Chains A and B, each alone.
Chain A
């Protein structure tokens, strides 16, 4: 990494093209395939995670700076929290008596 970065921003361009492609792919999977609904949600979910990673690494440069490692740990922990909050809440609130509605 140098102070002057005059080269063509390839990784931005690649990231952009990829994100458009992944979006279209998700739409295609959702509307033009006959997977079961669960499979569809899983597939488009994974595509979304890919896109998020592209933003994180290609656009936001998580790993750069003196605290690159700390940033990564921070993001991993936040994602862990997100999973706990989302899946935890769903599990707690839709199992048990709520399942009998």
Chain B
């Protein structure tokens, strides 16, 4: 048994720094930057309190019972009495969970309904509509009213509701900006809806969480919340400097690649909205064929290559932030 104790002690030592590190850092889900995410975080914290109580009760009972009733050399090898059960106790540990479930259910339902709509306090404002089209392995954002399209980054006005109308050009993806709100799937031939608001200007991490093939790990994007003025300036600047997206260029973008950011002064909605079918004409199974082994490592090299390659049709108001997963 000595061996185990040593091992155990050693492991505890090893664990402590990590646990401390965990407490220090701000886990992204607990660090909401907008009203939608905040209501989810509130719900999560509410549930965690219940779960902690349950875990503590079970652990305490467990520890106590296992310690107290362990076999000992001096217990005369007694034979425990048989017990049938106890109705009162059984009713108790049936009823309390029922109550907990009800207690969890009420705010859950409330929140489910709440996040389907424009966030509270913003009902009066006309949401900015952005069409999200996910493809392998990039995000395409279209601003129909501004007549702008961006790839792999998203600028929104802060403190203003944004309505995302989401679809996919092929595989299924999930649009997630954890600091602003929960995720939702994007699917070809269909449209899903999501409302988000950012409290104040800032940069937020967004990504796909629904696995969709080789480039999936790199399928992230940055959300920049700008003040309304900055946002308007940006729109103006795009109109002044960005190139026009052609159908040809668009089908090139839809090929399965990992690419950098792009900006255009029109939108692909002019010729196709993937929510209403027609995606299949952009698909080419041959491009998805894999040959085993002699695969070069997908990702970075290719990504930066693409970035320079397509630099001509990019407008950058920010210093280039290639592949920025940082969010702390």
Contacts and interface: CB of A to CB of B under 8 A. Distances in A.
A–B direct touch in complex (beta carbons closer than 8 A):
yes
Interface of A: 97-98, 100-101
A101 B193 CA distance: 12
A100 B189 CA distance: 12
B111 to A, nearest CB: 17
- Residue of A97, A98, A101 contacting most chain B CB atoms (<10 Å): A97
Contacts of B192: 97
Contacts of A101: 190-191
Interface in B184-199: 190-193
Contacts of B193: 97
What is the size category of the interface that chain B forms with chain A?
under 10
Contacts of A100: 191
A4 to B, nearest CB: 50
Interface string B268-289: 0000000000000000000000
Nearest to B166: A97
A97 B190 CA distance: 8
A97 B164 CA distance: 13
Nearest to A101: B190
8 contacts: A97-B190, A97-B191, A97-B192, A97-B193, A98-B190, A100-B191, A101-B190, A101-B191
Contacts of A98: 190
The 5 A-B residue pairs whose C-beta atoms are closest, nearest first, are A97-B192, A97-B190, A97-B191, A100-B191, A98-B190
A97 B191 CA distance: 7
B146 to A, nearest CB: 24
Given A97-B190, A97-B193, 6 more contacts: A97-B191, A97-B192, A98-B190, A100-B191, A101-B190, A101-B191
Interface string B201-234: 0000000000000000000000000000000000
B36 to A, nearest CB: 18
B248 to A, nearest CB: 29
A100 B192 CA distance: 9
A72 B193 CA distance: 46
Nearest to B193: A97
Nearest to B192: A97
A97 B185 CA distance: 11
A97 B189 CA distance: 11
Nearest to A98: B190
Contacts of B191: 97, 100-101
A75 B167 CA distance: 42
B86 to A, nearest CB: 31
A98 B192 CA distance: 9
Nearest to B275: A101
Contacts of A97: 190-193
Nearest to A96: B192
Contacts of B190: 97-98, 101
A98 B190 CA distance: 7
A100 B165 CA distance: 12
Nearest to B116: A96
A101 to B, nearest CB: 7
Nearest to B185: A97
A58 to B, nearest CB: 44
A95 to B, nearest CB: 12
A97 B192 CA distance: 6
B278 to A, nearest CB: 14
B67 to A, nearest CB: 44
A97 B187 CA distance: 11
A76 to B, nearest CB: 26
A15 B52 CA distance: 61
Nearest to B187: A97
A94 to B, nearest CB: 12
A5 B193 CA distance: 66
B129 to A, nearest CB: 15
Interface in B169-197: 190-193
A8 B192 CA distance: 63
B296 to A, nearest CB: 39
